[in-house]
Structure formats: C-alpha cells, structure tokens
Chains A and B, each alone.
Chain A
C-alpha cells in the first residue's frame, strides 16, 4: 500500500466538504469511502456501479455535449478524454474550452431536472467542478443540466421521450468561478485522508501480517 498514492476523485469532491467529529474531521461517509478505496487497491477488485440513472448518463453524454456546443454558440465540442491529476486530486472533465470546463448532468426525468435547476447548486457537483478548474488551470466552469430522451437500453426496454419539448425548456447551466479557498479546504482534507489511510494500513498489517 505504501506506493499507492491517494488522489481524491473529482466526482467525489463533495465528500471533502463535510466536517466529521473524528480527530481528522473526515466524517462517516468519507471514512467509508476511504475503506472501500483501500480494499479495492489491496484486492484489485473494484465494484462496478450500475443503475438506470448511471446508464442514462453514460449513454446520453455525447448528445449532451453536442447540445452544449449549440446552446453556448461554440459550434462543435469534443469530449475530453485526458485524465488530469496532481498531488491531491484526479479527474476527467467532460469538456475543456479555452474559457471554461463543462460538466454535463443528464437528468433522469422532468421532476429531477426541475428540482436540480431550482435548488441551490449541488455542493458535490460544485466541488467536482472546482477540482476540474484546479487541475486544468481554467478559471470558469459550467454545470449543465439537460433532459434528454431515456434510451430503452438504459431503462429495462422502455424509452421515455422528452424531445418533443423545446430544448430551452430542457437545458440549464450554472456558472462557477474558481474558488481557491474551497480548493485549499479540500487539499487539507485530502492530506487527512492520507493520514487515515496510513494508519488504517498499519492496523490491517498488524492484524493480518
């Protein structure tokens, strides 16, 4: 385990914003996440997350990016495939332009879409985009919610259609700016995660050799 460097995934950035009552201030969710990460690294076995929501997100990502290109007047956008990392974080933003990074969220249905856009910005996604901005050096970001047709393959054989609704009624973007203080807070928390993992590793080795 000593040579496995812990770099927190951008998509789990929200976990770094909570303050737990434990000595490292990690919180129960963060500790559970770290124990899972440790077990995966040690065993080489990783749980594949799968749900209809996750499948829709993956299947609709390219279409969502095309819609972003059109709505933002950027013509054509290419999905980013470069994985970024530094001492603390890692992640792969959906899209990077000269001016901003974009992360697309394909809402499951109209209820969740409307709820997302009328609520304060989701803290997990905000943290995710802050990490992307930090890793890429781009100082602005867009968190995009879009409601697309649900492919049958994502929903047990049943398509759900929303494309009869105008796109302006199914597309919304939150604008974000780089926040160095939030990054610093998360970096400190990642340092604490590393301390936890070192202690946890020592404990496991003591028990199992």
Chain B
C-alpha cells in the first residue's frame, strides 16, 4: 500500500513515541489522546540505541511505548488527584494510572542538555467550577449569553455546565 502526502518523519526508525509522533497524530486527529495500558519502570531498555533506565507507558492504541520523564509523571499524578480524587500518595502509584486517558502535546520548547529539542508534554487537567442554577455566577453567565457577548462553548471553558444547566441557560427558563 502506498501512502502519499504524509509527514516525512512518520516512518523513521525509532523505538519509542517521540514529540514528532505526537505532532503527527495531533495533525491527523486534532488531539492526541491515549489510554494507558501499562505503566512500568525498567532498566536497560533500548531507547533509540541508548540503554535507558526509566519509567515507561504502554498505550491501548496502536502507538509505541513512551518514556515518561519526571515532569510528565508529576503531571499525570496531579491530573489523577484533580480528575479522580486520588490522594497524593495514590496518584503517584503508577499502578493506578492504568486505564487513564492522557492528552499528549508536542512542546517545541522542551530542552535537553541545554539544547532546545522539543518533546512530549502531558496536558494538565483543569478542574472547572460547577455552574449552579440560581447562583450569582449562573445569573451573570445567563446575562452574558443573552447579551450575545459569549457563546456556550466559551462558558464551558470556564465552568462545568451540565446538560440540564445548559438548557436553563439557553431557554432562559
């Protein structure tokens, strides 16, 4: 099968998921959201020709394993605290990461050994406040929507809006 108009780096020789792969997936699918199938520590793993000791993530999707650096490990743990209410201790147990979805982003500013090389960054989970009917925030948001200053999509970037609350906002009842 021939593939045309694809990223020149898509089929390069490599052993683990890299920033460029995340950029390619993001370009193809809009977002790079992967589900952790396994999280483990291993020694002497061949990472693009270098024997590496480190933490690794395996995904349910058809992508290579990823080396999980300390920044991304901290981010996954913090996301679990915010998203699933895990304690700080439990969130750091990599066994609890299995089944978790992570959104990966290509960050071209990441440095290694003093050089800007780019890399993978796990996106942080943003805990939004709930928009409760009858609250001052609800009334203010409703007014802003009615005034045409904002769209419901913009509101959803700042608040958790349930379907029922959205109907109340949009119907004005």
Q: Which single residue of chain B is at the shortest CB-CB distance from A75?
A: B140
The proximity string for A residues 112-133 relative to B, scoring 1 for CB distances below 8 Å and 0 otherwise, is: 0000000000000000000000
- Interface of A (DSSP majority class): loop
Asked if B14 CB lies within 8 Å of chain A CBs, one says no
- Contact of A152 with B by CB under 8 A: yes
A164 within 8 A of B: yes
Number of interface residues of B (CB under 8 A): 28
User: Contact residues of A with B, CB < 8 Å?
Assistant: 66, 69-70, 73-76, 149, 152-153, 157-159, 161, 163-164, 167
- Flag whether B118 is at the interface (Cβ < 8 A): no
Q: Which residues of B contact A163 (CB under 8 A)?
A: 78, 81-82, 124, 127
User: When chains A and B are docked, how far (Å) is the Cα of A149 from the Cα of B75?
Assistant: 11
**B81 proximity list for chain A (CB < 8 A):** 163-164
Residues of B within 8 A of A159 (CB): 71, 74-75, 78, 124
Contact of B136 (CB < 8 Å), options: A73, A157, A158, A167: A73
Judging by beta carbons under 8 Å apart, are B158 and A73 in contact?
no
Chain B residues within CB distance 8 Å of chain A: 71, 74-75, 78, 81-82, 88, 109-111, 121, 124, 127, 129, 135-141, 143-144, 150, 154-155, 158-159
What residue of chain A has the Cβ atom nearest to residue B157's Cβ? A66
- A73–B143 Cα distance when bound, in Å, is 13
Question: Are B82 and A164 in contact (CB-based, < 8 A)?
Answer: yes
Assess the A74–B137 pair: CB atoms within 8 A. yes
* Contact (Cβ within 8 A) A75 B71: no
Q: Across the interface, which residues of B come within 8 angstroms of A73, CB to CB?
A: 135-137, 140
Question: Which residues of B are found within 8 Å of A66, using beta-carbon distances?
Answer: 158
Q: Are B140 and A161 in contact (CB under 8 A)?
A: no
Q: Give bound CA distance, A70 to B131, whole Å.
A: 9
